[in-house]
A and B are shown apart, each in its own frame.
Chain A
Amino acid sequence: MAIFVEQLLNALALAGLLFLVSAGLSLVFGILRVVNFAHGVFYMLGAYLGFTTVAVSGWFWPALLVVPPVVGVVGALLEASTLRFIYRRPPIYQLLLTFGLALILEESVRVLYGPTAKGIDPPPLLEGAIGIAGTLYPRYRLFLIVLSLAVGAAVWLFLQKTRSGLVIRAVAQNSEMADCLGADIARVRTWVFGAACALAGLGGVAAAPMTTAYLGMGIGVIVDAFVVVVIGGLGSIPGSMAGSLIVGAAQTWGAYYLPETAMVIMYAVMGAILIFRPWGLFGEEE
């Protein structure tokens, strides 16, 4: 029982991180019709900037507040200076362009921070473990679960209850019609891209105390996030949530029962779902 609870919480913490990354990936696809290959690199950028902020300020909390907007601005600037010009092309060109951006960003981080991993200490409040159902569980992972739930709720409320959210949903549904009705499509795209990058950056800062900041964490997470959105369906926030839970569970229990083949479990689950739903659980046929 204690082991089960521990595994369950591990799965939820992992799913929380995956959700922070895949929600942005899915949102960008819904609005821009672009699969952002560089999305994972923004996650990595968040982790490294988090390291810098903690090193400078000596505190963890400012990093959580400062880093996401900074990553978001970097993302929005890149969208406005490159992607903006090629939306009319076939989707492959946008994917290739973001691949180029990923190379530039990844190597820039290597230049700035060097090849070694950078660790961040969790804030004192979240250090140590807490007793749950007869097991000691790290406080920081519980915080990750709460944080991702809060962010998920905030994103959902923003999209459903605010006027900006309404415009974004309108653009996602039919961008030409939204354009005719006076929505500023170019601005919506830039803001959504920036916001998605900020979410990935937040995920990076939040992950760093657990995983450290290291080169290659971006590609690791983007591959997992791809699996998440393939399972859940691109462009759907509930889909990202469901996909994150499934992948989190598959990885956690896979690593526990079959440590050598944990990755295979994840792909087996994905394959099984795709046989029945080629466009993912919540996705729509293109």
Chain B
Amino acid sequence: MNGPRALALAALAALAALPWVLARHQLSILTDLLIFGLFALSLDLIMGYTGMVSFGHAAYFGLGAYGSALVLVHSGQPVPVALLAGALLAGVVALPVGWFSTRATGIYFAMLTLAFAQLLYTVAYKWRDLTGGSDGLAGVPKTTLFWGGPSLATPHAYYFLVTACVVLALLLCRALVRSPFGRALQAIRENERRFVALGRAARPFKLVVFVIAAALAGLAGALFAPFRGFASPEVMFWVLSGQGLMMVLTGGIGTLIGPILGAMVFILIQEVLSSYTEHWMIFSGAVFVLMVIFLPGGLVGTARRLVTRA
């Protein structure tokens, strides 16, 4: 058995065993880390594999959170229905946004996605009747796994639901980037002009991957709302979009597993810093600046380089 596969199996075993080792609040933190790992993973799909840096990815996380919160609060359907609703809502909204944004490339794309995300944030903030405005939607219940099925209200049950979603999403993304479709994405990232010169249209690929990434971010948001019990405009704010980029960079752009680890490290650093000072943003900003300058490959990229050099 080769190294990466052994590592993956060990990680799966650890994820399965951890709920029986960790204390209740530690398990809750781990669930949180995994949800944001999924968010960062979805961002890596467009940022790392297609070279499209979105500065508004939080909008789709937020749309997913609102979608799932609305379904759970108003209809009490099983959680998977809410997850589907959240991912679908994010994907559907991403379609027109992506259609506009993919007209531009590079920096223009980043600015357009930010502008649309702020627009969606404003809508969530102002549309009081639907979203509860700045208060958000509170009391989102963790219902059941299916109609008449087991309750997901225990920390263990919800943790396993989240873990299953993250693992499935990771496998899906892995299959995606290794498929001909994924190869095309990487070709666009490397040299879009040449890709076009070879007789392919780049925009349909970019639009499709943008919608997939948005739907996965929506899935993360849809998991988040029942987990925390609320959805509020903050989860759509630009700060989360920027933090997503930081998570991906911390873990390693274009490595899929890296962003998940990056999200975990990033949030843990934040947790530790915020227990010492309420102004942790200064320090996380400084850590991030140093990482950009000195560790551009992130954790996984740097580790791989060390391994291949050794």
**Interface residue ranges, A against B (CB under 8 Å):** 29, 35, 37, 82, 85-86, 89, 91-93, 95-97, 99-104, 106-108, 110-111, 219, 223, 226-227, 229-230, 234, 260, 263-264, 267, 270-271, 274-275, 278-279, 286
Contacts and interface: CB of A to CB of B under 8 A. Distances in A.
Nearest 6 Cβ contacts at the A-B interface: A103-B285, A104-B285, A100-B289, A107-B281, A100-B288, A226-B111
A35 B106 CA distance: 11
B279 A278 contact: no
B115 A93 contact: no
A108 B126 contact: no
A230 to B, nearest CB: 6
A103 B282 contact: yes
Interface in B211-225: none
B191 to A, nearest CB: 13
Contacts of A89: 296
B238 A219 contact: yes
A99 B106 CA distance: 16
Interface residues of B, number: 36
A249 B243 CA distance: 33
Interface string B178-216: 000000000000000000000000000000000000000
Nearest to B287: A100
Given A96-B246, A226-B114, A263-B119, A82 B289 contact: yes
A85 B107 contact: no
Interface of B: 47, 53, 55, 100, 103-108, 110-112, 114-116, 118-119, 122, 126, 238, 242, 245-246, 249, 279, 281-282, 284-286, 288-289, 292-293, 296
14 contacts: A82-B289, A91-B107, A95-B53, A95-B55, A97-B292, A99-B246, A104-B282, A219-B238, A223-B118, A226-B114, A263-B118, A264-B119, A274-B112, A278-B104
A96 B122 contact: no
Given A223-B114, A223-B118, A286 B126 contact: no
Nearest to A226: B111
Nearest to B294: A85
Given A96-B292, A99-B246, A107-B279, 4 more contacts: A107-B282, A111-B282, A230-B111, A286-B105
Given A91-B106, A91-B107, A278-B104, A104 B286 contact: yes
B115 A96 contact: no
B110 A95 contact: yes
A107 B126 CA distance: 26
A99 B119 contact: no
A101 B289 contact: yes
Contacts of A93: 292, 296
A91 B119 CA distance: 25
Contact of A263 (B122, B281, B293): B122
B107 A35 contact: yes
A102 to B, nearest CB: 8
Nearest to B122: A263
Contacts of A101: 285, 289
A95 B107 contact: yes
B100 to A, nearest CB: 6
Contacts of B289: 82, 97, 100-101, 104
B281 A223 contact: no
A64 to B, nearest CB: 29
B108 A103 contact: no
Of the listed residues A35, A95, A229, A274, the one surrounded by the most CB atoms of chain B closer than 10 A to its CB is A95
Nearest to B96: A271
Contacts of A91: 106-107
B293 A106 contact: no
Contacts of B296: 89, 93
Contacts of A229: 111
A244 to B, nearest CB: 15
A89 to B, nearest CB: 7
Contacts of B111: 35, 226-227, 229-230
A264 B296 CA distance: 37
Nearest to B281: A107
B108 A278 contact: yes
A103 B288 contact: yes
A267 B115 contact: yes
Nearest to B245: A96
Contact of B293 (A82, A230, A279): A82
Contacts of B126: 260
Contact of A85 (B103, B108, B293): B293
A223 B115 contact: yes
A275 B110 CA distance: 17
A101 B289 CA distance: 7
A270 B288 contact: no
B289 to A, nearest CB: 4
Of the listed residues B47, B103, B293, the one surrounded by the most CB atoms of chain A closer than 10 A to its CB is B293
Contacts of B110: 35, 92, 95
Contacts of A223: 114-115, 118, 238
Contacts of B285: 100-104, 107
Contacts of A100: 246, 285-286, 288-289, 292
Contact of B279 (A111, A271, A286): A111
